[in-house]
Amino acid sequence: MKTARETFRTIWLHPDDPATVQIIDQRRLPHRYEIVDLRTHADGAIAIRDMLVRGAPLIGATAAWSLYLAALEACSSANSLARQLQFVRSAAEALAGTRPTAVNLRWGIERMLAVLADVSDSEAMVTRLRAEAETICEEDIAISRGIGEHGAELLGTIAEGKNGEPVNILTHCNAGSLATINWGTATAPMYVAQERGIPIHVWVDETRPRNQGSQLTAWELTQSGIAHTVIVDNAGGHLMQHGHVDICITGTDRTTCAGDVANKIGTYLKALAAHDNGVPFYVALPSTTIDWTISDGLRDIPIEERSADEVTHVSGLDGDAIREVRIVPESSPVRNDAFDVTPARLVTGLITERGVCAASEEGLAALFPERAGVG
């Protein structure tokens, strides 16, 4: 299946049934492209918790659409507006507990609840929630495109010194189209660079334990015809030591107002290796992943701990079937922290929809003066 960049979406309203939201089951990629219907807010919560959808912006958008579904459910089960609103608010609480690290979850939910402030009847409740979920998605696409434009400038500058050789970019996890509504954050500069004819090649970290790099990033770069090579997570430092990496670009699930970033486990080690080897380490982010209320990432960002099964088992294609196999002894204890925090001092710059800035309070405040100081 070849993605048409302009029309690709990771979440959408069913074209013939406005009571159904559709998503791609990302657990099945790259081997199967399967669309799943969400009909209730509980379906949305399961999709987020079990990682049918993942990636900070898409988590926020799925929560938003789930609240629209909750409003439809409320209308069919409760008769007073007050009860219906209560139902939607309890759905919001259930959704908020699904994945703790990505701040977009809270952001998306708060934004949806805000449109209910002065709602006067059930129809208005449903209409407003649907419109807000659609707006969140359209805005996310524009934001990702903006990140792409600014990031591609950086890649173009590096390309000038490479005599036509490709710019080698290392990325971790999937901060791609699949993690947003389209374009991605870390991948957006790659897609815009491709449009501009800037030669690039991407080192794709496999990203254990769930392998979002080897399964999702590799899949979407393949769909888009971008040259890439999958590497094991431990290879990045070695490649940097030998001059094979020009720039690292990763995503983030939560960025503090001082520029610390929480991203998929292992990001910190890549930043350390980049620092040691003088390789620029950039983080691409929509402003929706900035948590303006905190400044110390290590202290204040909650790190999700996920099931040990993700470490003890791997899944893959066996003939025509997707199978899981155990790779760890039954009796070995396992720990599975899903994210780590890279301190701002290791981040060369933040690529946002408004431009590139230093990973610092001053850098972010200069780009987003209206938000600075809210915490």
User: Which stretch, 35-43, 121-129, 153-161, 250-258, contacts ligand MRU (CB under 6 A)?
Assistant: 250-258
Nearest CA-CA partner of 265 in 212, 191, 201, 215: 212
Rounded CA gap, 175 and 179, in Å? 5
User: Which stretch, 52-60, 132-140, 157-165, 230-238, contacts ligand MRU (CB under 6 A)?
Assistant: 52-60
Residue 57 as a binder of ligand MRU (CB under 6 A): the answer is yes
Question: Based on CB atoms, which residue is closest to ligand MRU, 185 or 256?
Answer: 185
The nearest distance, CB 136 to ligand MRU, in angstroms, is: 14
252 contacts 263 by C-beta, under 8 angstroms: yes
Rounded CA gap, 322 and 212, in Å? 16
CA distance readout (Å), 365 to 150, 206, 256, 368: 18, 34, 12, 5
CA distance readout (Å), 131 to 93, 103, 111, 126, 310: 21, 22, 12, 9, 36
Residues 1-40 as x/- pattern, contact with ligand MRU by CB under 6 A: ----------------------------------------
Size of the residue set binding ligand MRU (CB under 6 A): 18
Examine the residue annotation and report whether 253 is marked as an active-site residue of this protein: yes
Strand ranges inside the chain, DSSP E: 11-13, 21-24, 35-38, 167-171, 200-205, 228-231, 247-250, 254-256, 261-264, 281-284, 290-291, 313-318, 321-326, 339-342, 349-352, 355-357
Structure tokens at 22: 């559709």
Q: How many whole angstroms from its chain centre is CA 157?
A: 26
Residue 54 as a binder of ligand MRU (CB under 6 A): the answer is yes
Question: Based on CB atoms, which residue is closest to ligand MRU, 126 or 218?
Answer: 218
The residue from 48, 56, 200, 245 that contacts ligand MRU (CB under 6 A) is 56
Number of Cβ within 10 Å of residue 317's Cβ equals 11
Rounded CA gap, 234 and 308, in Å? 21
The residue annotated as part of the active site, out of 205, 253, 260, 340, is 253
Rounded CA gap, 352 and 248, in Å? 15
User: Which stretch, 72-80, 82-90, 176-184, 221-229, contacts ligand MRU (CB under 6 A)?
Assistant: 176-184
The nearest distance, CB 100 to ligand MRU, in angstroms, is: 11
Question: Based on CB atoms, which residue is closest to ligand MRU, 310 or 361?
Answer: 310
Residues 66-105 as x/- pattern, contact with ligand MRU by CB under 6 A: ------------------------------------x---
**Residues from 120 through 149 that contact ligand MRU (CB under 6 A):** none
**Residues from 325 through 364 that contact ligand MRU (CB under 6 A):** 338
The nearest distance, CB 306 to ligand MRU, in angstroms, is: 8
38 contacts 22 by C-beta, under 8 angstroms: yes
Residue 187 as a binder of ligand MRU (CB under 6 A): the answer is no
221 contacts 186 by C-beta, under 8 angstroms: no
User: Which stretch, 16-24, 51-59, 85-93, 328-336, contacts ligand MRU (CB under 6 A)?
Assistant: 51-59
**Residues from 261 through 290 that contact ligand MRU (CB under 6 A):** 263-264
Residue 173 as a binder of ligand MRU (CB under 6 A): the answer is yes
Residue 175 as a binder of ligand MRU (CB under 6 A): the answer is yes
Spell out a b/e string for 78-116, using b for 16 or more CB atoms within 10 Å of the CB, else e. beebeebbebbeebbeebbebbbbbbbbbbbbebbbebb
Q: List contacts with ligand MRU (CB under 6 A).
A: 54-57, 102, 173, 175, 179-180, 184-185, 212, 251-253, 263-264, 338
Catalytic residues: 253
